[in-house]
Amino acid sequence: MASETSVEEAATRGGLGAFFKEMNPAEWRTFRACAGGWGLDGMDFMIYPLVIGTIMHQWSVAPGPAGLAATLTLLASAVGGWIAGYVSDRIGRVRVLQITILWFSAFSLLSALAQNFDQLVITRTLLGFGFGGEWAAGAILMGEVIRPAYRGRAVGSVQSAWAVGWGLAVLSQAIVFSLAPAAIAWRVMFAIGALPALLVLYLRRNVAEPAIAIAARRNASPGLLAIFGRETLLVTILGALLSTGAQGGYYAITFWMPTFLKVDRHLSIVGSTPYLAVLILGSFVGYLTGAWLSDRLGRRMLFLIFSAGAIITIITYTQIDIPNDAMLILGFPVGFFASGYFSGMGPFLTELFPTRLRGSGQGFCYNFGRGLGALFPALIGFLTKSVGYGNAIAIFAVTAYTLFFLAALALPETRGRVLTA
């Protein structure tokens, strides 16, 4: 086995696509499955922010309760992610991945059948359990299958599939709302969110459990709270704070952005599509760039650069009165910096914890952050009454990215770390 030093040196060589050329069949199959799952996961989640304006109008829902529905989805995903990570340490990453994909697909379909806002809140909340669990199982699976030298680029490239899923959601919105009345179109959008269930067929046939995960389950069976032991307590706390800042900032920006464009910038649903498209393109390029930088510069430096960039761009986007044409262009760096750092989150959390605790530790840290970040859509919704959408988004986004920056400073660099059972 290569030493940790030689692996780290190898990680700094080669371009973004180097790992594509050298992946073996098992790595390729796992990559395709996890990228597909995460992309469809992103599509599923982003449908609600895209149709929230229609639902608010149809059922006379205020911004606060509308944001609360997203918050409950994310809170449920935090619990689901921690549990899924823990269960994956016991029954396997692949099996948990299949279960969670089927779960959130089913509840997306049920969301399409909701007869009132209360029912929609329930179905979206229950969807959250599978939504959170899918990332936990998929990120761990990728981190353990891909060799250390390419882990950042591979896991980061999987993360970029979120932007693809977001783009599919926006494209679906433009098509569906052009062909059907708004009262029906939002239901069709949720029904489209059930498509990820088909991915389970591919998983069952083509993706195997990582050998080190199988070996770790034979050697130890730690409890759910083992990540709070002396060995990993500080890492667990700092990892959770890092994730809180990362996800709080992201949700502060992306959830209310369609409504911000509609209310503050006076753009229609169809008219806002180009602005969201540029934002998503920036996000996609950010993911791929972050994937390369996480191996090239290290995980911590990626986090520091992108959190600072996110603060600067979101203040400019929401606080400076600029023409809509300039807003269109500025959407690219906003999406770039507000998303690209996620490419380093998966490999970083994978490398922070030993294999026997990886599912529980990674699942907890990432989803603790998701749970606290989940409060931001609701809080922003309530705050808009007094300060407006742009100011509310900026307040919460800047606070979150500052926390992200400080937590990254306090954690160790993990690039090139070799995983063992």
Q: pLDDT tens digit string along 92-144? A: 888 888 888 889 889 989 999 999 999 999 999 999 888 788 877 887 888 78
Burial class, 116, CB count within 10 angstroms (exposed 0-12 / middle 13-18 / buried 19+): exposed
**Cα-to-chain-centroid distance, residue 286:** 13
Give the whole-angstrom CA distance, residue 33 versus residue 238.
Answer: 30
Give the whole-angstrom CA distance, residue 336 versus residue 283.
Answer: 4
Domain count, the chain: 1
In the Cβ-directed half-sphere of 22, how many Cα atoms lie within 13 Å? 14
Which of 73-77, 200-204, 220-224 shows the lowest mean pLDDT across its residues?
220-224
Residue whose token pair is 């069952």: 204
CATH code (residue 384): 1.20.1250.20
The answer to whether the CB of 299 falls within 8 A of the CB of 355 is no
Band of the pLDDT at 4, cuts 50, 70, 90? Answer: very low
Q: Tell me, yes or no, whether 38 lies in a domain.
A: yes
Residue 184: CB atoms within 10 A of its CB come to 12
The answer to whether the CB of 408 falls within 8 A of the CB of 101 is no
pLDDT of residue 28 exceeding 90, the answer is no
pTM for the full model?
A: 0.72
Give the whole-angstrom CA distance, residue 286 versus residue 280.
Answer: 9
pLDDT of residue 12 exceeding 60, the answer is no
Helix, strand, coil shares, percent, the chain, to 5: 85, 0, 15
Q: Give me the mean pLDDT over the 327-343 stretch.
A: 87
pLDDT of residue 1 exceeding 50, the answer is no
pLDDT of residue 18 exceeding 80, the answer is no
Band of the pLDDT at 405, cuts 50, 70, 90? Answer: very high
Residues 6+ apart with CB under 8 A from 176: 185, 188, 189, 192
- Please state the φ and ψ torsions of residue 144, each to the nearest 5 degrees: -85, -25
- Please state the φ and ψ torsions of residue 379, each to the nearest 5 degrees: -65, -40
> Which range marks the domain in which residue 172 is found?
11-410
Q: Tell me, yes or no, whether 5 lies in a domain.
A: no
Q: Tell me, yes or no, whether 420 lies in a domain.
A: no
Q: Tell me, yes or no, whether 24 lies in a domain.
A: yes
Alpha helices in 180-255 (DSSP H): 182-192, 199-206, 211-219, 233-254
The answer to whether the CB of 86 falls within 8 A of the CB of 356 is no
Find, among 377, 151, 77, 60, the residue nearest to 249 by Cα. 377
The answer to whether the CB of 365 falls within 8 A of the CB of 308 is no
Q: pLDDT tens digit string along 38-52? A: 888 788 878 888 888
Q: Encoding tokens for residue 37?
A: 């799952």
Q: Tell me, yes or no, whether 385 lies in a domain.
A: yes
pLDDT of residue 413 exceeding 70, the answer is yes
DSSP single-letter state for residue 415:
T
Q: What percent of the chain has pLDDT over 90?
A: 19
pLDDT of residue 6 exceeding 50, the answer is no
pLDDT of residue 327 exceeding 90, the answer is no
Q: Tell me, yes or no, whether 30 lies in a domain.
A: yes
pLDDT of residue 15 exceeding 50, the answer is yes
Buried (b) or exposed (e) across 64-98, using 16+ Cβ within 10 A?
bbbbbbbbbbbbbbbbbbbbbbbbbbeebbbbbbb
Find, among 328, 318, 352, the residue nearest to 241 by Cα. 352
pLDDT of residue 71 exceeding 90, the answer is no
Q: pLDDT tens digit string along 225-270? A: 778 888 888 999 999 999 999 999 988 887 777 777 777 766 665 5
Band of the pLDDT at 410, cuts 50, 70, 90? Answer: very high
pLDDT at 2: 41
Q: Give me the mean pLDDT over the 357-368 stretch.
A: 83
Q: Tell me, yes or no, whether 179 lies in a domain.
A: yes
pLDDT at 72: 86
The answer to whether the CB of 278 falls within 8 A of the CB of 330 is no
Q: Tell me, yes or no, whether 174 lies in a domain.
A: yes
Query: What's the whole-number average pLDDT of the chain?
Result: 82
